[in-house]
Chain A
Amino acid sequence: MKSTRDAFGEALMDLGHRKNDIVVLDADLASSTRTEMFLRHFKDRFFNVGVSEQDLVQVAAGMALCGKVPFACSFAAFLVTRAYDQIRTTVAMPGLPVKLVGTHGGITVGEDGITHQMTEDIGLMRSLPNMNVLVAADAEAARELTFLAAQIEGPVYLRLGREPVPALYAEGESCFEAGGGQLLKEGDGVTFCTCGIMVHEALRAAEILEKQGIRAEVIDCYSVKPLPRQLILSSLRRTGCCVVAEEHNIIGGLSEAIARLSATEFPVPMRFVAVNDKYGQSGTPRELQEYYGLTYREVVSATAQVWALRRRL
């Protein structure tokens, strides 16, 4: 078990060794976002702007205009919403290579409660033209996606979580690319499009469904924007139905991205396991997942619904 933010911190340090143009900016949360590891090794390339997210993004944009590849990091809740106009005007519009990293995404931030739980970030970020949106499901994915973010020429938003998560990918064995996804389990009964912590829930749901004779295909849509279109569409053509599971508001996130893709290219019955347009509250991460319906159980029951309606070919 390892958190995606821990893996990000280590990957950033590796990147610092390999690339001199990488700079890291943080808004007084380096110990939580794990950028402090980079700070310890590259003091002259690390900038804590203090509690000022708007300036964090402005300064990062200015540095990008002078040839740097800045990673601007904070909690997802503050980075995305406090600095949204800055992200839009100074990063997305000019298409600058600023890498925005939001840790503590989703409701599994836990006890800190609603202000710190971020369930609108993916919707906000994917609606910005030029923006790439990546979500890490485990530590290895976080590591690879950090490297990928640095490689992508334009702006990137990378969403990470606070809590340790089980390992999905073996070290160095999977390839992560812009617009990519990972086919984690093959099946012909139903397609699970998912990202972040919900990948784990979807895999568990798939095990249960297997015993009932429904073979689920599980896709980690780590690139929410651009989506792995061909991977998803070819799966939908095989299974004829889909469940999307994400730790995000049901509006604006992966759910709507997949729904639009399917509606335009190959309509299939679909159900969504996501936060049902409400804010969270304090609680342990697992309690919150149960309370807001973000577990394998909801994925299983959603499957029962779509499978009965599946598009027969």
Chain B
Amino acid sequence: METERKKALEETALKVRKDIVRMIGVAKGGHLLSSLSIVDLLVFLYWETMDISPDDPLRPDRDRFVLSKGHGCPALYAVLANRGYFDRDELWTYRRLGSMLQGHPQFPRTPGVDAPSGSLGMGLGIATGMALALQTDGKLSRVFAILGDGELQEGSVWESVMTASQWKLHNLVAIVDVNGIQMEGDVRGSKQMEPLANKFESFGWTAVPCDGHDMASIEDALDVSLSKVETPSVILAATIPGKGVSSAETGKLRPAEPMDRMTMEESLSELEERSEDKTDEAEAGEPDEKYP
């Protein structure tokens, strides 16, 4: 991957991370750790892979995206805003009465949100139905779905795993955010999900491991997945919960713990230091003043 392109993507991801921290900080709620772990995957999908039109969000032959782990929606909202689906100021209304940005993704409330989610274990099935309908119509559109690793404990996921494989849905790419945590701690503590690759492969899927925070690795994994013509693919993305914010990465914050003002400010300046593009802060304005 060319250094320039990689740098630009990383800079975008940093911008998205800052928006997420600010959104969750202002809203005083939302899943920070689980949102930060999927940022790089989403940025790559929305800026590099997917055929989409932010000014025509429902274009019939677009690629689709389903966020099955709906609680990670701050990441999706920040990506959609930065990609031009709606005004970035909307982000500071997240979780508020009347907002287009609900606590979990709602269809058709938010431009760019292709499917409803919030109750876990359903997104892969919806994505399967989409892929099936598109394939039936001879359309070339592809469907991407991000699932959590804890979410894989829902039995309904495995019903869809079998369905997608039965119909050889090669236009379907599932991405598992293997961040290792769920609400009450380590995923291994409730239901051990590994070895994930073997599980998916034994159901007839192509499993591709990748580093979920490395743009080049994500690109390679998507290239392999999209080259398959007989099987659906799953990308097993190794990620770090709270990636980019040290108080979150080190486990100081629990998965759904709200951030206090101090932690938000610290996290923002931490992300700011990593950024080369310093113009963003001034542009973002002060969300708290606008929505006290």
Contacts and interface: CB of A to CB of B under 8 A. Distances in A.
B128 A62 contact: yes
Contacts of B121: 54
Interface of A: 23, 44-45, 47, 49-50, 52, 54-55, 57-68, 70, 85-86, 88-90, 93-94
A43 to B, nearest CB: 11
Interface in B97-146: 106-108, 114-119, 121-122, 124-134, 136-137
A303 to B, nearest CB: 45
A59 B116 contact: no
B160 interface: yes
Contact of A55 (B116, B133, B160): B160
Interface SS of chain B: helix, strand, loop or mixed? helix
Given A59-B129, A59-B132, A63-B130, A49 B163 contact: yes
A89 B122 contact: yes
Given A55-B125, A55-B128, A50 B162 contact: yes
Contacts of A58: 122, 124-126, 128-129, 156, 159-160
14 contacts: A49-B159, A50-B163, A52-B156, A54-B125, A57-B125, A59-B132, A61-B126, A62-B129, A62-B132, A64-B129, A65-B114, A93-B106, A94-B107, A94-B115
Interface string B203-236: 0000000000000000000000000000000000
Contacts of B130: 62-63, 65-66
Main DSSP-derived SS at the A contact region = helix
Nearest to A51: B159
Given A52-B159, A55-B128, A90-B126, 8 more contacts: A47-B167, A55-B160, A60-B129, A62-B126, A63-B130, A67-B137, A70-B129, A93-B106
Contacts of B156: 52, 54-55, 58, 86
B292 interface: no
Contact of A61 (B64, B129, B131, B167): B129
Contact of B116 (A23, A49, A67, A90): A90
